Structure 1
């Protein structure tokens, strides 16, 4: 099964309205956000904590997929950081931070349209990063804490997810993604899913998954 461009996953996005696509991409970026807030960002990048927090706050304040002046202003400020004027050879954790920042830029550029292709691209970014981390864990000689729990999860995960043949993080991301999309597509028209009890549960699931990414990345930082 093609986990990256699976037709069933894409079909969910195709059925979504602009607002729902925005909410789906916001949650995908939420799954990539912990490396930005829980790990040190290189000082020479010039990306301050205030800007990082503003991305999440402005992104959650308006969830209809239309133009968001506050978010655009944050991205404009971010684009002037030294990060974008220098060559960078990132370590593993930094590569995750860069991809998360890139995802926010993609989301901002998509506002007002939120096409299927734009939405798919951001959600696929979260899938790719999860798979990349699994590959790094598989190839490293350093023990990454929680191996038994990860193996137990894969042994007991439902068949439709196991069929992809992926590692822990890629499988967990697809599990959380599917839950997010089910709630979003099942919501009433015009509902801000993120403000509902089910939406808050999704945010919590995304955050817990994202913190797991950070726990694994910290191991590589100690190599």
Structure 2
């Protein structure tokens, strides 16, 4: 099978085209959920002035708003992030910190899109999770840093369906695409768009996203030690 360009393959966005606004919001939220652990588990530079409690409030209020309606709590959390000095900081971000900045920017975009969440807005947030996964894989390939779990990652790639391997991505890029597909299929199959954080289907999706996200954060933490 010839290698596909994941940036241009329309089959990756085909599911978005048949989603309702509420479903697009769920898909976009789940993409950000896959980037959540680096925000919660890795300390940010003090010069950024980001209160960890504000980040925790952001992700908790975002989960509640999985259905796509705006809320005062989420907007307050986003406003607090916007006021933090990190956007004026002259600190050159380290590798893990660049992930945190991109994830924060994703949350700001998510907040702006609530109530609308067009196909373009949702696709942009989903693409962010793909881009960061590929970015990590490429840095792992080009680095002499040895990270734990290499054997598990190789076994995963040896057993994953060919439709995901056809993009020629590494572990995180491939695992993110598989997780994304699972999320989109469940969101589309749910009756009356009822995939919420408290539903059985929603809980399962949060678990699969968190499992991936924690692996992402653990690898970034190992890089930050060197």
Q: TM-score, normalised by structure 1?
A: 0.96
Partner deviation per Cα, 1:167-212 (whole Å, 9 max, x = no partner) = 0000000010100000000011141343221221111111111111
Farther-moved stretch of structure 1 (67-76 vs 131-140):
67-76
Partner deviation per Cα, 1:16-64 (whole Å, 9 max, x = no partner) = 1111111111111010010111111111111111111111111122233
The 5 Å alignment of 1:16-27 reads 16-27=19-30
Aligned pair count?
223
CA–CA distance in structure 1, aligned partners of residues 120 and 54 of structure 2? 27
Could you say which residue in structure 2 is the equivalent of 1:108? 111
Say whether the 8 Å CA contact 1:107–1:122 is kept in structure 2: yes
2:182 matches 1:217? no
Task: Select the residue among 72, 96, 121 that pairs with 2:99.
Answer: 96
CA–CA distance in structure 1, aligned partners of residues 38 and 72 of structure 2? 25
Say whether the 8 Å CA contact 2:195–2:201 is kept in structure 1: no
Structure 1 spans left out of the alignment, 5+ residues: none
Say whether the 8 Å CA contact 2:96–2:220 is kept in structure 1: yes
CA–CA distance in structure 2, aligned partners of residues 80 and 158 of structure 1? 44
Partner deviation per Cα, 1:47-95 (whole Å, 9 max, x = no partner) = 1111111111111222332333321111111111111222231011101
Say whether the 8 Å CA contact 1:134–1:168 is kept in structure 2: yes
Could you say which residue in structure 2 is the equivalent of 1:162? 165
| Cα RMSD (Å) | 1.2
Shift of the alpha carbon at 1:124?
Answer: 0.1
Runs of 4+ with >6 A deviation: none
Q: TM-score, normalised by structure 2?
A: 0.95
Say whether the 8 Å CA contact 1:68–1:111 is kept in structure 2: no
Could you say which residue in structure 2 is the equivalent of 1:38? 41
Say whether the 8 Å CA contact 2:26–2:187 is kept in structure 1: yes
1:195 is paired with a residue whose SS is: coil
CA–CA distance in structure 1, aligned partners of residues 171 and 213 of structure 2? 13
The 5 Å alignment of 1:1-223 reads 1-223=4-226
Say whether the 8 Å CA contact 1:18–1:64 is kept in structure 2: no
Say whether the 8 Å CA contact 1:187–1:193 is kept in structure 2: no
Say whether the 8 Å CA contact 2:110–2:125 is kept in structure 1: yes
Shift of the alpha carbon at 1:162?
Answer: 1.0
